[in-house]
Structure 1
Amino acid sequence: MTEQPGAGLPGPWTAILDEARRYPSPHNSQPITVRVHDDRRAEFFYDLDRGLPAENFGIPFAHVCAGVFLESLATVAAAHGWAVRETLRLAGMDFSSPQRQHLLGGLELTPAPVTDAAREQMAAFRRRRTSRRPYDRRLVDRAVLEEVPALAGGMGQRFGCTDEQVLVDDLIRINQETLFDDLRDDAVHEEILTWIRTSKRQAAATRDGLSAETMLIPGPLLRIAMRHRWLWDLPLVGGLFRRVYLATMRGVRELGWLTGPFETPADHVEAGRCFLRLWLAFTRHGVDLHPFGTVITNPRSHAAFVERTGIDESGGRMAWMLFRYGTGKPPPRARRRTLDAMLLDRETTAVAS
């Protein structure tokens, strides 16, 4: 009989972590690792080899990813009858450190009753996925757009949105141009290349990264476009790349964004928790979502986004997330690494914090 991944873990950790590992992460890099100590206690880490330090705000978004994971873990644990108590250690990350596992903190499980709300949230977590498919041009039910701002406000964030088609189209254009702009940065280009999966075989082998299948771009075209970036500047070839990319954006009627505190690692973690909670709210209502991360991390695009929307970033607040949302055909599911790949043994050395 084949041994199940994580089968040797004590207590409920196998069941909880095997579902929590499906948390969303930038470039589907899946950087969170866990060391389980006993049936109630564990530590979690950020694998620096799976980070995105070349991008502007790449390091802050490492802590955003940690927040997304913590909200995912809490969601799964609640449906299994557990609450998660955290002891966070939010030191700055040094991506040049020889010790590649950066300690983020301790985790402890405590028994908790399973509520109907916890079951509903878990169902949404299981259904959640990034949809890069064209949308069907239907506006989202206004009741959803009443629930989401309240959730964001309760976590110190402000949810903004627009269904003004001219503005939506402008921001989509900014997002598309950002990709071309990022490819001109040698460090960012090299980083992106490490996460591109141009065939189903490659995606199945690594079980991570941005696959051609989920990006809805033919694998050979994606391979050429990413490895020969000078082609983007040729009128005919560059125009083809742009048309293929923009074809996935058909039918987008609405965009949303989040603005809130974004100065410290603690801010970044709370931002990540908020984003996952909002994503699950959209999912509960049958609404798809696709983050436009590069608009935030690219300085020129960020400035254009903020100027075009009139967002106020004073007082330590930042527009740190932009995304499209809507309805359409179910997207392909991105692959995830196995539970065993997420687990650390007790001898693994971590960065002190």
Structure 2
Amino acid sequence: MSARDRAGSVTVAVVLALVIVNILALSRQIVMDHGEGTLPPRHSGRRMLSLLRHSETPPWKSIDSFIQPVTVKPKPDETSVYWHIPKSGGTNAKSYFGCLGLALVSKTGGLAKYGVAEEDRLEIFKPFENSNARFVNVDVTTTEGLDRAVKLGLIQSSIADVIFFTNPTIIEGLFDTEHKGRVMAMFRNPVDRLISKFYYLSIASWEPNYQPTWDGMDLGVWARDHDTDHNFVLRTLMGKKARHLTEADLTHAKQLLSERFIVGLSNKYEESIRRFEAVMLVDEKIDSDTRYKCNSEFFGSRIEKKNANDHPQVEPGSEIYNIIAENKLNWTWRSTNT
């Protein structure tokens, strides 16, 4: 590989970060008005996920009908949705919002052990002692849970402050013209995210996708032979398999992020959380004492200690860093620079 090609691979993350920085600048522009789209056909959660899982059509065909543009001023009765990209600060964000006492929708709300997951009405409950964390008794990460959330009118009720999800395809099944969502996401340098994923899943025996065979494996061997993450963010956003991604998908994704997503950067974590708080109108919902307490607990000198998994650092520009960048992000790099 030539020095020029190697330099290109190393700067993949920089280019992607610059794209996101531009998105951050655009997302600051919040104004009053936006025209309404047309009401999309309603599907059950099971039907919606089935359609999207077996389709190569991006899950944003009727986006005007269910997602607010970043240029529309937030409203008190809006429901925000947080796209939790693995190893990009989503767990920390969930804990922080829980500390504030916001009403969250996550897997916790669907756990039978809390005794409310089968109720025929929406409820907010507090599952943990000595914690402000509040959850709505639904879980939209499963087809059954999504069906139940739609049936009970989760969005129409405005009971939830923020919904955490890992699959963007659920959004179209939840929202409609009269009840549009506000989408947020935290992005991380993609090479750093992959390295963190490798070390975390090699020891995280509590995770369903725990990979004990990775423990002790050479990072370079893993990157070449075992990682299947290929363009994870892009293929997840577009609802496609990696081999079917095109340059048009990259263009579409960048447009979606710039026009519809409130974007945060993990290396500017506190600033990004402040942005999310602004669109969720947290200052109007949560008293100042609680905000101060949670800020003291989660930010400043403590920000790196929450949900952190210590592992060897890989320096940008090193051989292994370049291998990961080239092997896993070369398609995105070529597309971004054409």
Provide the TM-score with structure 2 as the length reference. 0.25
Q: Whose strand proportion is higher, 1 or 2? A: 1
Provide the TM-score with structure 1 as the length reference. 0.25
Q: Whose helix proportion is higher, 1 or 2? A: 2
